Amino acid sequence: METITLFVGAMSMNERLAIENVVGHSLRENQKVTIQVADVNASVSKASASANDDSMLPTWCNVYDGLTDAQLESLEATILNRVNLTRAAI
């Protein structure tokens, strides 16, 4: 994938008009435009691979790994009990 960043204030008038035509509105001098060019097939396969890749998640996301169903139910009951204790009665 290729990423190109263009600063609007540094563009020629022709470049600016072309980019404004692409984005559909006028650009201000203090803005920048970032364009990414990617191969369609590579993007699709990368996206599906990352969706199935658990290594992308931080370690703490696996906090429930190794717990049995009974342990999970007990934990859930404790959490729900604490939630009820901290809420004001209506």
Residue 42's pLDDT is 67
* Each residue's pLDDT tens digit, 46-68: 556 555 555 677 888 888 888 88
How is the chain split into domains, by residue range? 2-86
Positions in the chain short of pLDDT 70: 42-55, 85-90
Residue 38's pLDDT is 83
Structure tokens, 85: 């204790």
Cα separation of 64 and 79, whole Å? 14
Residue 12's pLDDT is 92
- Using the 8-state DSSP alphabet, how is residue 88 labeled? P
